[in-house]
Structure 1
Amino acid sequence: MTTMTIRNAARRWAASLVVLAALAAPLPAFAAPSDLPSARPQDVGVDPMRLVQLSQWLRDEKLDVRSLLVVKDDKLVFERYSGGLDRDYNYELYSITKGVTAILAGMLVDEGRLRLDAKVGELVAKLRPDLAEKFTDKQDLEVRHILTMSSGLHYDFKSKDDPIYYAAPDRLQLAAEAQPKIPPGTTFEYTDINPILTAAVLGAAAGMPIQVYAEQKLFEPLGMKNWAWGRADQKGLVSTGWGLRLRPVDMAKIGLLVLHEGKWQGRQLVSAGWVRQMTSPGVVPYFGDYWWINDIVTSEPEYDTMGFKGQFIVVLPKRDTVVVMTSLLPIEGGLRDAGNVQIFREIVNGHILPALAAGSGPGDPSAAAALAHELALAQASNPPPGAAPDPFETDTPRK
């Protein structure tokens, strides 16, 4: 064997050792985080008996609250399920999908792939050149307008089962055909045409379907499990206004990411500046970029993202707290005053905020047993649906 051959063999052997060492080395902490750590409520200054009373009230009122979580000081202190459900089920989040989408938009802005003043028509044309001429009457429409629900577009929604939600083979074409009603950026109007355009815009900016980008940039770093982003149309486009399914504990991680201004376990996933913008007033004082502002709590800083029939992620920065709920509750009453929103306001303002105000102290020594007993009763309960379940079983929790 020549000297050169021996040297080459040594190099290959050394390189293989480096590869094996890399494979054996532990992954960075952010690569596979576990679910949230837990603590007794009283250990972080939360009154457990107030939480017991809250759960009893939900049972007495027979409210179909599938999950209700409270995270304080980054610790899960209250985790309530009903109907035999547990932590591993995911839920259709409806418009909470928009709140997650806003985070993804911020990531693309941070990466320099997306500008808020970019023209929506130009970005859509990158993905669908066949629709370019549909935007000749929407030349002033910018990304910022569809994120703040101020596009000024009109779409004639059907009163029941509009095709953009389920049956349309090409949602983006329907959205592209929406007519300008008023100049963009002037008036807030909550319409689900906007998140269809957003799905196309973000996918074009990312160079991949938005759900693939979300998996790489958000879901995997947060250690999410059993997530799904479905209900794509026949062209393969998901909506960024609905269709995302998460476990409640993973919803809480979204809330914590926002609470900590884009940082997760020491890693800045999205810039603090974007989180501040996203949760600051846009065209109206109560809505930013797909996030609501002081819509649940008005007595202190609060921002939230909410979904049809009673899905919520609420961030309370003053309390270092995140509240999460999934439910099937009444929808009558309008966008901001539907029955499910009013019930959730009572849950947060009438029960959770008083529990958070308890302060530190030893508390009632029997509280832990009382809370465990009540949570077992809640899980065994089976309240009737407060709204009609979706005929396509969208509302069914899944593992």
Structure 2
Amino acid sequence: MKQEKIEELEKVICAEYGNIAGILVQKSGMKLYENYWNGYTAGHAVHVASVTKSVVSALIGIAIEQGYIENEDRKVLDFFPDYTVKAGERTIQNITIRNLLTMTAPYRYQTEPYEKFFTSRNPIRDALDLLGGDGAIGEFNYSAIGGTHILSGILVKATGRSVLDFAVENLFAPLEMKVPRNVVLRNKEEHIAVMNDKNTSGWAVDAQGINTAGWGLFLTAEDMAKIGRLYLNGGVWDGKQIVSAGWIAESTREHSRCAEWGNLAYGYLWWILDGDSYAALGDGGNVIYVNTKKKMVISIASLLIPDAKDRIELIQKYIEPIFQD
């Protein structure tokens, strides 16, 4: 009976979710299902888009635990003492790391200028230039690129190391995740070319050599499942505390709410789906899904396409019912 349901699931995937590269399902640490499509295998990494944000959230928590950052209520400008605040601009001076983590910082634009960040010679400075304005601190205001990238700048300033080096030592290596190099994208053509290139692995950097925080990380389906399992287990991996349990609890509870996208709750760069489940979500349908009650972790690696069909519906309607018992 279960095999029949799996075959039906795979028919649905092929018919309605054709850009999926891989799916991995775990329950209580046991791998129950793994499959790949579109020429991808377990060893191929995909660009996980905004799932990168949730990984950066973990790195901020690790940096706080290690004493590099006092806490998430530190002011953003504390880390950029040389930044010159615009005349008459006061809001930016009160924005904290917590505001960046919970998407509750205001910005000086109506629509985020993606092209500006992708072509900028100094994206963090430009992001700081757009931070603040007349909006209210505390209201949900999703920043896909610029605002989140400031967190990478804070990590570099606080630790004195590159984000990738810090991540390898404190997160990737302990979890046996291979993120081998910086990915340098010199123009729009290279940027587009790597998005669905199965031979690309690593983490994109900006023009200053700083790893991007809002996008740009390439992970396998198994890598994503490891992050999910780490969070499900309260930050413990092979008996070692990698991320503090307190940080994970704080990261996966509601701090703000996005009225625009189905009134979804938001934690520290994690989406809160309900009382039992939360997820890292990225464009194209990349997902790390964690259900604490059912002890399930589901990762979906996907190729980048516009307007990808909702993966949470796929997970909760088709995948969870097959493997939850």
The TM-score, its normalising length taken from structure 2, stands at 0.84
Q: Assess if the C-alpha contact under 8 Å between 1:63 and 1:329 holds in 2.
A: no
Indicate how the Cα distance of structure 1 residues 118 and 134 shifts in structure 2: closer, same or farther if over 3 A, else same.
farther
8 Å contact kept, 2:27–2:295: yes
Please tell me whether residue 340 in structure 1 is matched to residue 306 in structure 2.
Answer: no
C-alpha distance in 2, partners of 1:50/1:198? 43
Q: Is the 8 A contact 2:26 2:298 kept in 1?
A: yes
Structure with the bigger percentage of strand = 2
1:71-90 alignment runs, 5 A limit:
71-90=26-45
The percentage of counterpart residues that share the same residue type is: 27
Alignment of 1:47-66 (within 5 A): 47-61=2-16, 63-66=18-21
Contact between 1:48 and 1:355, CA under 8 Å: does it hold in 2? no
Query: What SS does structure 1 have at the residue aligned with 2:23?
Result: strand
Cα RMSD, aligned residues only: 2.1
Corresponding residue of 1:173 = 125
Q: Does 1:356 align with 2:311?
A: no
Partner of 2:192: none
TM-score of the superposition, structure 1-length normalised? 0.69
How many matched pairs? 294
Q: Paired residue for 1:148? A: 102
Q: Is the 8 A contact 2:151 2:213 kept in 1?
A: yes
CA-to-partner distance for each residue in 1:363-388, whole Å, 9 max, x for gaps?
A: xxxxxxxxxxxxxxxxxxxxxxxxxx
Deviations along 1:288-321, one digit per CA (max 9) or x if unpaired, are: 0000001xxx4x6101001111110000111111
Cα offset, 1:51, TM superposition? 2.2
| 1:234 shift after superposition | 1.9
Structure 1 residue 156: Cα displacement? 5.5
Q: In structure 1, the residue corresponding to 2:234 is in which secondary structure?
A: coil
The question of whether the paired residues in 1 share the 8 Å contact of 2:220 and 2:301 is answered with no
2:52 pairs with 72, 83, 97, which one? Answer: 97
Q: Tell me which residue corresponds to 1:124.
A: 80
Please give the secondary structure, in 2, of the residue aligned with 1:212: helix
In structure 1, give the amino acid aligned to 2:205.
Answer: A
Q: How far apart are 1:162 and its partner, in Å? A: 1.3
Q: Structure 1: give runs of 5+ residues left out of the alignment.
A: 1-41, 333-338, 360-399
Q: Alignment partner of 2:78: what SS?
A: helix
Question: Which structure has the larger Rg over C-alpha atoms?
Answer: 1
Task: Give how far 1:86 is off.
Answer: 0.6
1:231 is paired with a residue whose SS is strand
Q: How far apart in 2 are the matches of 1:48 and 1:144? A: 45
Where structure 2 has 5 or more consecutive residues not aligned to the other structure, the ranges are: 181-200, 258-263
Is residue 272 of structure 2 the alignment partner of residue 293 of structure 1?
A: yes
| Distance verdict in 2 for CA 1:323–1:147, change over 3 Å | same
